[in-house]
Amino acid sequence: MALKAGIVGLPNVGKSTLFNAVSNSAKAQASNYRFCTIEPNVGLVDVPDTRLNKLAELVIPDRIVPTQIEIVDIAGLVKGASKGEGLGNKFLGNIREVDAIIHVIRCFEDENVLRDEGAINPVADKEIIDTELQLKDLESIEKKIPKTEKGAKTDAKLKAELEVLLRCKAHLEQGRSIRELGLSKEEKVAVADLFLLTDKPVLYVANVDEGSMHTGNKFSEALTAAVQNENAQVIIMNNSIEAQIAEMDNEDDKALFMDEYKMTEPALDRLIRSAYKLLNLYTYFTAGVQEVRAWTIHEGWKAPQAAGVIHTDFEKGFIKAEVIGYDDYVQYKTEAAAREAGKLRIEGKEYIVKDGDVMHFRFNV
């Protein structure tokens, strides 16, 4: 169940360099000219999880299988994209298909890297993207309002839907994104068919120079201040260095390289974990001698839904789930010891799976 996170931003901010770093299965062209990326590059990215490694140390399986998210590198956007400028329509169509947005913003000065927007200004860059997405959402909502108005005169459900549409319209006209509006789950149903671009959760990547990797700089600070009301996270990193780390196959070389830059882990690991969390995803584990594996579910899913991620038959024929909390598994070191200590629970169809649960399903087809 790999959900999609799309990497977006203005041309030449480091999107494709970041994609190259995070993706082990594809390489995006990274060049110093506009619209280098035309068709979106797609790669499946392993989600770093120390819990998976710890379980593998205890079980010693034949293989270890991490969970993944799908990263999409989308063409650079320019002012006027909502009206079809540049690759606007293609860009907006591609971003509509992702579940979350990783917005890369240039926070470094380098006269050798092309820039048409003038002096470095991360807040203005962010607003260019925001404005184009807001204009496209406004267009979608304005198209739906007349149709809804007709039925709202006699249909209470459509009347409530119209009220949501009008609120969204007013909010967008103020230059605000829908995710800041705080729509309830019920209210979101009214606009679900529009797949609104500004309702998607966003993670900002401040692409800084080498000297600012650990502390940030005036540009990343300005960006952080600008997004504080969005409840959004800002990841500070140097995309070029992350790409160099990702290219290293030898773990000792990688460790020496990171030590040189005083890094305890690649910033990419933080980025991937943050993107995973941004999508409100949980991980549960299955642990056996054949494999120790991480599985992705949504927060709040019940045991049968979680079982269905492995195979639809597991959900259809679900009987019960054997569950050991991750901490208990680590403490007692084996399933048998956890069972003997009374830490293995039998849960039914209404059990809400917790992040980190180690599970085994009983089913009948």
Cα(108)–Cα(240) distance, rounded to whole angstroms?
12
Q: Per this entry, what is the length of the chain?
A: 365
Residue 284 DSSP SS3: strand
Cα(186)–Cα(132) distance, rounded to whole angstroms?
27
- To the question of whether residue 220 is assigned a binding role by annotation, the answer is no
Cα(249)–Cα(343) distance, rounded to whole angstroms?
39
- To the question of whether residue 14 is assigned a binding role by annotation, the answer is yes
Look up residue 109 and give its two tokens.
């000065």
- To the question of whether residue 358 is assigned a binding role by annotation, the answer is no
Residues 6+ apart with CB under 8 A from 23: 41, 43, 44, 45, 71
- To the question of whether residue 250 is assigned a binding role by annotation, the answer is no
Cα(136)–Cα(139) distance, rounded to whole angstroms?
5
- To the question of whether residue 191 is assigned a binding role by annotation, the answer is no
Question: Crossing angle for the helix pair 15-22 and 239-247, nearest 10 degrees?
Answer: 30
Please tell me what DSSP assigns to residue 264. Answer: S
Token pair 């979680």 is at which residue?
Answer: 306
* Sign of the dihedral through C-alpha 278, 37, 235, 355: positive
Look up residue 16 and give its two tokens.
């494709």
The answer to whether the beta carbons of residues 201 and 179 sit under 8 Å apart is yes
- To the question of whether residue 12 is assigned a binding role by annotation, the answer is yes
Q: Which residues are annotated as a binding site for ATP?
A: 12-17
Q: Which residues are annotated as a binding site?
A: 12-17
